Structure formats: C-alpha cells, structure tokens
Chains A and B, each alone.
Chain A
Amino acid sequence: MRFSGWRIVREGLTGNRGWRPHWRTPDPKPEYDIVIIGGGGHGLATAFYLAKEHGLLNVAVLEKGYLGGGNVGRNTTIVRANYNLPGNSEFYSHSLKLWEGMEQELNFNTMMSQRGVLNLFHSDGQRDYAARRGNSMRLQGDDAELLDREQVRAMVPYLDFDTARFPIYGGLFHARGGTARHDAVAWGYARGADARGVDLIQNCEVTGIDIAGGRVQGVQTTRGAIRARKVGIVVAGRSSQVAALAGMRLPIESHVLQAFVTEGLKPCIDHVVTFGMGHFYISQSDKGGLVFGGDLDFYASYAARGNLPMAEHVMEAAMTLMPMIGKARVLRSWGGIMDMSPDGSPIIDRTGIEGLYLNCGWCYGGFKAVPGSGFSFAHLIATDRPHAPAARFRLDRFATGRGLMDEEGTGAQHNLH
C-alpha cells in the first residue's frame, strides 16, 4: 500500500474503505537468520536496512511491549548533526543525510521539519567553544553559522536578552537541524521492514540468549524458543539486563530523563532553541504544544517518570530564558530510561560471543541517530565489518582508553554526560 496524493483523494471519495493495517502480526517462526531484540527506532531501522541494503529477509524483530512504546515514542524529537569530536561528527552527519531522504525512502510522512537548531551562548568562553564546534561541523561538511547577539535577537525576539545573570551573547545556528514526528519514524521503518518480509513480533520478551561453544544459537522468549544464526541487542535503557542474559556486564548505567509539553498554542517558537546556562531546550510541535526538557534526574532509575526537583529546575530555566512561557500551562510530563555510557557516546560493535552484536549507549541523544544507527548496525550484522561512519563506536574503547568520545569533557561518570 503506497501513500500518495492521488491515493488520499481516491480514499476520500470512496469512504476510506481501502486502508489496510500497516504491518502483519505474525507468529514467531522456530528459526530466523537474524533476530533483532528490541522494537524501538534503532531495532526497526536495523531490520529495514538489513532487508533493503543487504537483501536479508529472514529476519525477526522481537519487542516485549508494542512497537515504538519505548524511548522512540517518548523523546523530544530533536534531529541535528552538530557534534564536535571525530567519531560522533561523521556518524551524525551520515544520519542527518538519511533523515533528509527518509520520507521518500519510506514513502511515509515522518514530518521531518528542518526548522533549525539554535544553541545559545552566554559568555566569552562559551562563544569560543561554539566557534570551534561550528568549525568542526563545517569541516565535516555540515552547516553552522555563528550569530551575534543582534542576529539572535532578530531571529528569536521573545527571549530575555538582558538578564543580569545570563545575558545572551549569541548563538550557533544549525539550519539543517530540526524535529520529526517520533512515532511516525518507528511506524515508517516498521512498515518498510514488514513490507520486505521482516516479521515484527510484539508482546515477545527475550528471557534468555542461547550460547554454545562461544557462538549464539538463538533466544528464549515469552513466546517460545527461537533459533537464530545472528542476534542483535538494541534495547536502549534495558541493555544491561539483556546483555546479562549472555553473561555480559556493560559500561552502561540507566537514568531517567524527563520531558514536558504544554497545551496547544498558536505558532510562536519557530526553531529548536537551547539555553546554554542550566540545561533547557524547547521546540513547538506541529500540534502547537511547546515541547521542552532539561537534564537527567542524575540518579540511576528504571522508573519511566522523574522527580520534582528536575521539573522545578527545568521550569526555572524556561522562565529565565523566555518569560513569556509563564503564561502557558503544562499539559503532561513523562520520563524515559536512558542507556548512559561512560563517555556519553554510543556503542555499535561485535561482542566476545560470535554472532552476537550490541547497539547501546545512546544516552539522551539517540532519536537523531535512528536512521544512521540502523544503517550501520545492519551493515555490521550483515557483513561482520564495521560501517565506516560508526567504526569508532567500539566497545573496547573503555578498556583500552583509545578513542573515547567525551563531548562534554566530564570524565568517566555515566550521569554527567
């Protein structure tokens, strides 16, 4: 079933009776070539690219809940390629290019909106860093523009420019960044994978990983045993539990990140804006809600909800930056479980067990990574060789100390990235 303008007109004239479910609900087969554990954005994109790029069709995605019920449906949808360090820089650059072609590739409206990401700075030191980061972005081939205070004022006049404590000095503008509809991204990849023959199996929790002679043999699930030649773990906040089924201990600590949305308002915030003092970022959804968030709650947690001190901190930062937000009423808040790594950068790699592959450590930034991560993970699983843009996301970098990517420069403490 393809979407097109013509199709919408035809369905509209015939009572919308021709639409069909976007994917099948198959029962698990006893054996697959490849099993992907986790039906979030990364798992679904991996399955899609295994089928599309490598012609591997005997693939299943096993999801313990429903497709897109994890972080992919809980994030604040910011997409960008504005990283500073080698490794991250080329990877997110590649991912953003895939975003730019995603709607055509999937024939699905993911509402990708390149409205621009504006990172504000509030001191000379922050300006220097923004300039350096902008140069890194441009050297990578992405776009970045250093704006002074008056240029920022012309773009976002509603900010408070003159607070005594955190005056706005300027901003780094990344015009190709923006937002997308998070659920649609999961659904689009699910639909594309299913159409190519991938089995998407929901309500199927992996409870064991079978290993014999150092090789993966398959998985145990709440819907029975499934044999597989290769198994990929892509379960975000649950990475430690699933890896433990294979006897692995990971460099991951799970933390809760909260987000907030207001009642729907008329368009007033045209870009993604981030505050440089006290973590706060905001955009306006196409429905009109102001979507915003801040830092982690800072302590290890598997509760998909946070505590009030961080809610208060985020609201304070919001009021400091844009006092007009005080008139909006918060509609909802929620949390998601983040797989925090010791350097704040992800892992896409083989494991010590043959046929078992690992994709985790996305921290709070894995939504923008969905297409790139799926593409690179599929490449690794299919060919057993790392995909160039993700080649530095090695699991052994923590043990060797080579190639750590600590964008924030905070050291090996999971909650500080």
Chain B
Amino acid sequence: MRLSCPLCGERDRREFTYQGAAAMVDRPAPGATTEQWSDWLHLRDNPAGRTRDLWYHEAGCGAWLVVERDTVTHEIFGTALVGGDHAD
C-alpha cells in the first residue's frame, strides 16, 4: 500500500502512522456531556468499505492527513491535509 502525501507525493506506507477514524478531528465542544466525550473516544462506525481515517506522515513532512480509502480492497481514493488544501 502506498499513500500520496499532498506535500511530499506518493510514499511507502511505512512512512505513515495510523491514528484512527477521521471523525476524531471533530472533538466535542468543551461543555459537551460525558456521554458525548465517551462516544467520541470509544465508538466507531467501523465501515466495511469506504472510510476516511487519519494518518500522520511521521517519516516525512510531519503533516496529518485524511485518507479516503476502502477497508475491504485497500484501494486509496484520495488524501488531503487535515484542515484543507485538497490534493489527489
């Protein structure tokens, strides 16, 4: 599997560290209920198919990426920097 970093180009999967579902970026507001915090921390959609998750370009530029990919076929559809600047 290879991932394309918007800043560095296509790189070996070993340069990246996986964090988890991209929904983790949407932290509950500071005043959210304990249940909302627990859901955010623990519960997952965990789809078999298309998903968006977070990867850190650890052995590269150090950027956080949102990768859109398929959890069944391992096909990569696209990558973007967390917080914007879309690239393929």
Which residues of A line the B interface, CB within 8 A?
Answer: 238, 240-241, 249-254, 298-303, 307, 309, 342, 398-399, 412-415
Q: Show the binding face of B for A, using Cβ within 8 Å.
A: 1, 12-14, 17-21, 34-35, 38-39, 41-49, 51, 53, 55, 71-74
Measured between alpha carbons, how far is A303 from B43 in the docked complex, in Å? 21
Cβ–Cβ < 8 Å partners of A412 in chain B: 41-42
Q: CB-CB < 8 A to A398: which residues of B? A: 38, 41-42
Chain B residues in 8 Å Cβ range of A300: 18, 20-21, 46, 51, 53, 71
Given A299-B53, A300-B51, A399-B35, A414 contacting B44 (CB threshold 8 A): yes
- Shortest 10 CB-CB distances between A and B: which pairs? A240-B46, A251-B42, A299-B18, A398-B42, A302-B48, A399-B38, A249-B43, A302-B72, A342-B42, A302-B71
In the assembled complex, the Cα of A184 lies from the Cα of B1 at a distance in Å of 35
A182 CA / B44 CA spacing, docked (Å) = 30
Bound complex: CA A414 to CA B53 (Å): 13
Cα A370 to Cα B20 with chains together (Å): 28
Q: A299-B18, A301-B71, A415-B20 are in contact. List 6 more A-B contacts (CB 8 A).
A: A240-B44, A252-B46, A253-B21, A298-B18, A414-B44, A415-B18
Bound Cα distance from A41 to B51, whole angstroms: 29
A413 near B43: Cβ-Cβ < 8 Å: no
Would A254 and B46 count as touching, CB distance under 8 A? yes
Checking B1, B17, B34, B74 against A399 with a beta-carbon cut-off of 8 angstroms, the contacting residue is: B34
Would you give the shortest CB distance from A255 to chain B, in whole angstroms?
9
> Quick one: which of A250, A254, A309, A342 contacts B13, CB cutoff 8 A?
A309
Residue of A nearest to B53 (CB): A300
- Closest Cβ of chain A to B70, distance in Å, is 9
Known: A253-B20, A414-B20, A415-B18. A303 touches B41 (CB 8 A): no
Q: Which residues of A contact B13 (CB under 8 A)?
A: 307, 309
Tell me, rounded to whole Å, the shortest Cβ–Cβ distance linking A127 to chain B: 29
Instruction: Compute how far the CA of A253 lies from the CA of B54 in the bound complex, rounded to whole angstroms.
Output: 14
Whether B74 lies near A307 (C-beta < 8 A) is yes
A301 touches B46 (CB 8 A): no
Contact B71 A303 (CB under 8 A): yes
Least CB distance, B2 to chain A, in whole angstroms: 10
Does the CB pair A249–B53 fall under 8 Å?
A: no
16 A-B interface contacts by CB (under 8 A)? A238-B48, A241-B48, A250-B43, A250-B46, A251-B44, A253-B21, A253-B46, A254-B46, A254-B48, A300-B20, A301-B74, A303-B71, A303-B72, A309-B13, A399-B34, A415-B20
| CB-based contact B44/A250 at 8 Å | yes
The answer to whether residues A303 and B73 also contact, given A240-B45, A399-B35 and a CB cut-off of 8 A, is yes
Instruction: Determine how close the nearest CB of chain B comes to the CB of A57; give it in whole angstroms.
Output: 34
> What's the Cα separation between A249 and B21 when bound, in Å?
14
CA distance A307 to B2 in the complex (A): 10
Residues of A within 8 A of B51 (CB): 300
Chain B residue numbers with a CB within 8 Å of A238 are 48
Closest chain A residue to B24, Cβ basis: A413
The answer for the CA separation of A412 and B38 in the assembled complex, in Å, is 10
Which residues of B have CB within 8 Å of A414? Answer: 20, 44
Residue of B nearest to A249 (CB): B43
Q: Which residues of the other chain, B, contact A413 by a CB distance below 8 angstroms? A: 19-20
Cα A26 to Cα B63 in complex, Å, equals: 56
Q: Bound state CA distance, A252 and B47, in angstroms? A: 11
User: Closest CB of chain B to A162's CB: distance in Å?
Assistant: 29
CB nearest neighbor in A for B34: A399
Give the interface centre of B14, B21, B43 by most chain A CB atoms within 10 Å: B43
Residue of A nearest to B49 (CB): A302
Assuming A252-B46, A307-B1, is B41 touching A342 (CB within 8 A)?
A: yes
Bound complex: CA A295 to CA B67 (Å): 22
Q: Which chain A residues lie closer than 8 Å to B18 at the CB level?
A: 298-300, 415
Query: What's the least CB distance linking A346 to chain B, in Å?
Result: 14
